[in-house]
Amino acid sequence: TYIAEQDEWKRRILVRIRQLIHQTDPGITEAWRWDKPHFDHEGIMVGMCAFKEFVSVWFHKGALIKDPGKLFEALGKGEEKGMRAYKIHENEAIDEPSFIELVKQAIALNPAYALAHYNLGRAYTLQGRKLEAAQCFHQAQQLNLFTRDLDNDELNERLNSLFNSLE
């Protein structure tokens, strides 16, 4: 009903964005958060909202996504971490190939749980696979900026210990 209640031009954009997201991966599920449609894939991923002059699609872990198509809005001071938004105005075409690439990257960041990467890093450490463990701990550290699932001090300690043992 949220989409159906929008002006015709917004409705057209919202419907197409929804189609593109689901076409990118059939494992994507829809959720309702903050009174707006969201899309998840093993964790929170993308949300969308219609405003008066544009439709906004935001990527919850957008700071970790490369944007070669330059779809994301320019960042303001102090906004280097967190979400990124793609705003589509009336009479503006969706850059579908670039948008699909952003969705694919958002999927690749999940499972969104820093804990999953942390636990994999611990398993690699026990196997003596230090480089792979460091990569997992680093990924956990990056994801933890958004999820806050883990103690950053412990993550930093594990990474420093591994890097020191690689030297």
pLDDT of residue 158: 75
- On the question of pLDDT at 112 being above 60, the answer is no
Q: Can you give the pTM of this predicted structure?
A: 0.66
**How many Å apart are CA 110 and CA 112, to the nearest integer?**
4
Average pLDDT, the chain: 85
**How many Å apart are CA 35 and CA 53, to the nearest integer?**
19
3-class SS string, the chain: CCCCCCCHHHHHHHHHHHHHHHHHCCCCEEEEECCEEEEECCCEEEEEEECCCEEEEEECCHHHCCCCCCCECCCCCCCCCCCEEEEEECCCCCCHHHHHHHHHHHHHCCCCCHHHHHHHHHHHHHCCCHHHHHHHHHHHHHHHHHHCCCCHHHHHHHHHHHHHHHC
Q: What is the pLDDT of residues 119-155, one digit of tens each?
A: 778 877 888 888 888 888 888 887 777 656 567 787 7
Beta-ladder partners of 40: 29, 44
pLDDT of residue 63: 85
Q: What is the pLDDT of residues 27-63, one digit of tens each?
A: 789 989 888 999 988 788 999 999 999 999 999 888 8
Ramachandran angles phi, psi of 137, nearest 5°: -65, -40
